[in-house]
Structure 1
Amino acid sequence: MEDKKKVRVLQLVTRSDWAGAQKVLYTLVYGLLKYYPGKFEIEVACGQENGMLITELKKLGIEVHIIPDLVREISPIKDLKSYLQLKRLLREKKYDVVHSHSSKVRLLGGIAAMRSNVKSLIYTVHGWWHIEQYKGIKRRIFIIAERIAAHFCDRIVLLCKRDLDKAKQWKIGRESQYVIIQNAIVPTEKVQKGKLKKELGLDENVEIVGNVARLDPPKNPIRFLEVAKLVFKQRTDVAFVWIGGSIVDDSYGKLVQKWLDENPDVAKHVYLLPFRKDAIELMADFDVFLLTSDAEGMPLVVLEALSQGIPVVSTDVGCVGEMEKQVSIADSIESLCKNVLEILSDTFQSVCAAPGCNFEDFIVNYAKLFCGA
């Protein structure tokens, strides 16, 4: 591919906050600029909610297009308006590739791209929670919607074999569309410890079990607290820290507070911090990273924890089960507690090897997809 003919790529995501899909998008844009300067012309389109992604992308010099009516919730009027806004953008900018990062923009962006003569539409599935959270007819409706959206998509990127198998099971897309590209994180140096303990006023001998996640149902912070309750029956020199507030629905945060009010002996050892941009610096003080989610794709926080040499205990969720040599997998609150206690007592042998996909491989794999447009 010659420098004089850049591949014009639009990265498309619904929300503009700093959650998993948005961080993957940022990592990809950062890597393409680093390894392929002058090869791609990259722009981003997203909704205007929250907006931290927008701030970070502009630091990279990326042009960001705000789609005013693009929202997470289903809204027929707003969805129609956002479709028309997307179609107008695509026709004006004449992109070669549209790369979507959420289920709604996969459908809206797919139809708009088809009607705007975009050469290629690629969609990355950041986990199947938007289907798995439902049962019965509602799940069926979302599966059908995904099948329809797959007709407007050239390639479907999945994060691991488990997610690919679910796509096959639900007959979403064709096998020829599937490609697995594991998530990666921007390489960082090992962070110096001490920031979190100093901020919380914790003694040096206190060990920390922590998580970094939204305070929302798929992350299951109640399970995190139930594990804490069991751990405290055997050890009191431990603090449990959850970093990240609600970004979708604060009603779940109220349930968490209710649990804490009903368990005051546990609550005095639990610290709930809001979203923090410096989370990885705070995470350096974790002695165990405890993921208690019901649904995930390939969680970046697990990759970040492993990159810092922090042992990880997790439910068997999303793509985490395919990292079993690096992560201690458990299927109940009792077994999660057991694994946490073993790590705290140094009886568990944790392997914190290079996690997930190599950063450069991650970028190269996507570049190949974009160049094949």
Structure 2
Amino acid sequence: MRKVLQIITRSDWAGAQKVMYNIVYGLKKYYSEEFEVEVAFGKENGMLIAELEKIGIKYHIINDLVREVSPIKDFKAYLQIKSLIKQNRYDVVHTHSSKAGILGRIAAKRAGVKKVIHTYHGFWGIEQYTGIKRALLILAERIAAKYADYLVLLCKRDLEKAKKWKIGQESQYKIIHNAIIPEERIERGLLRKELNIPDNIKIVGNVARLDRQKNPMRFLRIAEEVVKQRDDVVFVWIGGSVVEDEYGAEVQKYLQEHESLKDKAYILSFRKDANKLMADFDVFLLTSDSEGAPLVVLEAQSLGIPVVSTDVGCVGEMIGNQNVTSDVNKLKHLLLTILEKGKFNNYVLQSYEDFVALHVDIYKGDR
């Protein structure tokens, strides 16, 4: 039996954590006789822990593994990860997120691990910066790539970015599209009942953290323009602040100061039942500045909800390039068109079983 360690920086319940959880869940469900899987992460937040406990997965807390750059803590975290790997003699180490990805890959190879994999959940960690800081982050990823056997990209667009920045070699690249764990049929009506929204009112929504990358301000500005043209639409954002409490306060202030959005736009906090609330959306509006391959888009598609989005990450490959644009005005018109006509293409790139099987293939691979 092969021992697998998954490592991620934070233990909250956001996109990268959910993708990692989907891998772990699949290994446990379909390949429990071939793989023993464990997870390691920093002590911040901790919402992932309850989900792992539900399915009986052993986890390890790396006390000094934090999101912020801290040379002393980072070195301590590296030593803690390396010690954990040596102590448990893992056959495969699979890293996720920037900090855990760099420290984990180097520690794993130096501890003698046979197979080291890193998944890039988009490139926001690089793209949010310019100039020397971006150059240094690209350099760090180039160095870390030398300590991996495989680099998993979520789509062709991300693969092209890795090639452009000379991160890794083509022989290391593996595209594995995200997929979600199939759920039983979700009943509609929960969100409408909670917010007292009548059936004749259309709901445009998003489910995301309340931070700069997800750009809720753009969501609210589009809402302002749309409600000027239609009085039968409301906008609902589900998801609180995880990293930037101060920015979340700015969003709430903006909402309070714009009278036109009163009873037309709602900001809900983080909800574990977000997928059930989302079932009432008529259109899903993604307004992010950067993404990988967001699971929430797959969740919307599985519910039959049309998606329009900024042209970020893998989203164009997920929903069709005709439904993405970098122009805010065009995004508004795309949204209005779908509200009017209700027509959209529902792309399905990959099944959940295939998603898990592709990871198993690289865990077993000869490299």
- Name the SS of the counterpart of 2:59 in structure 1: strand
What residue ranges of structure 1 are gaps of 5+ in the alignment? 1-5
TM-score (norm 2): 0.97
Query: Is the CA contact 1:182–1:356 (under 8 Å) kept in the aligned structure 2?
Result: yes
Which residue does the alignment assign to 1:363?
356
1:26 aligns with 2:26: no
> Aligned match of 1:254 in 229, 243, 249?
249
Letter in 2 for 1:129: W
> Aligned match of 1:212 in 207, 210, 227?
207
In the alignment, the residues of structure 1 paired with residue 262 and residue 102 of structure 2 have an alpha-carbon distance, to the nearest angstrom, of: 43
> Aligned match of 1:156 in 139, 145, 151?
151
By how many angstroms is 1:326 displaced? 8.4
Letter in 2 for 1:197: R
- Name the SS of the counterpart of 1:64 in structure 2: strand
Pick which of 45-54 and 164-173 moved more: 45-54
- Name the SS of the counterpart of 1:72 in structure 2: coil
Which residue does the alignment assign to 2:230?
235
CA separation of 1:147 and 1:370: change in aligned 2, threshold 3 A? same
> Aligned match of 1:192 in 167, 187, 192?
187
Query: Is the CA contact 2:201–2:232 (under 8 Å) kept in the aligned structure 1?
Result: yes
In the alignment, the residues of structure 1 paired with residue 92 and residue 286 of structure 2 have an alpha-carbon distance, to the nearest angstrom, of: 35
Letter in 1 for 2:118: Y
What residue ranges of structure 2 are gaps of 5+ in the alignment? none
Q: Deviation per CA, 1:56-80, whole angstroms, max 9, x where unpaired? A: 1111111000111111111111111
In the alignment, the residues of structure 1 paired with residue 98 and residue 176 of structure 2 have an alpha-carbon distance, to the nearest angstrom, of: 18
Please tell me the root mean square deviation across aligned C-alpha atoms, in Å.
1.3
Which residue does the alignment assign to 2:313?
318
Query: Is the CA contact 1:215–1:252 (under 8 Å) kept in the aligned structure 2?
Result: yes
By how many angstroms is 1:348 displaced? 4.6
Query: Is the CA contact 2:316–2:323 (under 8 Å) kept in the aligned structure 1?
Result: no
Letter in 1 for 2:204: V
In the alignment, the residues of structure 2 paired with residue 127 and residue 323 of structure 1 have an alpha-carbon distance, to the nearest angstrom, of: 14
Letter in 1 for 2:362: L
1:273 aligns with 2:268: yes
**What is the number of equivalent residue pairs in this alignment?**
366
In the alignment, the residues of structure 2 paired with residue 90 and residue 267 of structure 1 have an alpha-carbon distance, to the nearest angstrom, of: 53
> Aligned match of 2:300 in 305, 324, 327?
305
Which residue does the alignment assign to 1:3?
none
- Name the SS of the counterpart of 1:157 in structure 2: strand
In the alignment, the residues of structure 2 paired with residue 149 and residue 71 of structure 1 have an alpha-carbon distance, to the nearest angstrom, of: 18
In the alignment, the residues of structure 1 paired with residue 320 and residue 113 of structure 2 have an alpha-carbon distance, to the nearest angstrom, of: 41
Structure 1 runs, 4 residues or longer, greater than 3 Å off? 324-327
In the alignment, the residues of structure 2 paired with residue 352 and residue 170 of structure 1 have an alpha-carbon distance, to the nearest angstrom, of: 32
Q: How does 1:109-128 map to 2 (within 5 A)?
A: 109-128=104-123
1:54 aligns with 2:49: yes
